[in-house]
Amino acid sequence: MTEQSTPAFPTPHIKASPSDFAKTVLMPGDPLRAKFIAEHFLENAKCINEVRGMLGFTGKYKGEDVTVFASGMGMPSMGIYAYELYNIFGVERIIRIGTTGAISEKVKVRDIIFAMGACTNSNFAVQYGLDGSFAPTADFYLLKSAVEEADKAGVRYHVGNILTSDHFYVDTPEQTMKWAKMGVLSTEMESAALYMTAARAGKSALAMYTVSDSLVTGESTNADERQSSFTDMMRIALETAIK
């Protein structure tokens, strides 16, 4: 397999320079969630990207530089932004903060999940030419730090395996629920791409999620809550970012 040469900045997706970024990036999918975090948690936040509506901001949290940058939805979008942040803009750590749908009976709406591993039904790893299945996992030290912060905050959380799916609308929903038999906690659409991209770049990644709905009970939160109210997760990610 022929490796691609690394392009220069700015890219077609990010109009910025490496100096605009902190070494740690918080990465929600929703650009408006990035804007919410910048406005409510960061001091002197500066908008560093607006290309394609994918908002990014860098500011101070407790005196330390932190960037928050949206990824969009799905593995292809995450793959683009994570690749460019790691390989072009010099970012060392990405902490994904998003929402997820519970498929385990023990997981409740508004719980927090730390994705120790990310199963997937995607062929994202084919590009690496491996003779088998790659197991995408979080960075241990980021995971350990985040769990410590969750303990301090006294929030309800789970650590385990999640499913990164290529599909939001599934033709046979029962296929998704089969993953629960293997102890998989929830489903989302980005983590496996982030973990694989981090592994290939030799960088660090962690994905954490607030459970926005349950495929088991049918309970769900609304769009406004998903955008702005999951502040426990945001604070845990910010505290982890500055450790």
Query: Would you name the residues annotated as active-site residues?
Result: 213
pLDDT tens digits, one per residue of 221-243: 887 776 655 899 999 999 999 99
pLDDT tens digits, one per residue of 171-201: 988 899 999 999 999 999 999 999 999 999 9
Q: What is the pLDDT of residue 72?
A: 97
pLDDT tens digits, one per residue of 85-137: 999 999 999 999 999 999 999 999 999 999 999 999 999 999 999 999 999 99
Strand, helix or coil for residue 193: helix
Q: What is the pLDDT of residue 1?
A: 38
Percent of the chain surpassing pLDDT 70: 95
Q: What is the pLDDT of residue 169?
A: 93
Q: DSSP per residue over 126-184, as a string? A: GGGT-SS----B--HHHHHHHHHHHHHHT--EEEEEEEE-S-SS-SSTHHHHGGGGGT-
pLDDT tens digits, one per residue of 51-68: 999 999 999 999 999 999
DSSP H helices in the chain: 31-41, 75-87, 140-153, 174-177, 191-201, 223-228, 231-241
Type of residue numbered 131: D
Q: What is the pLDDT of residue 96?
A: 98
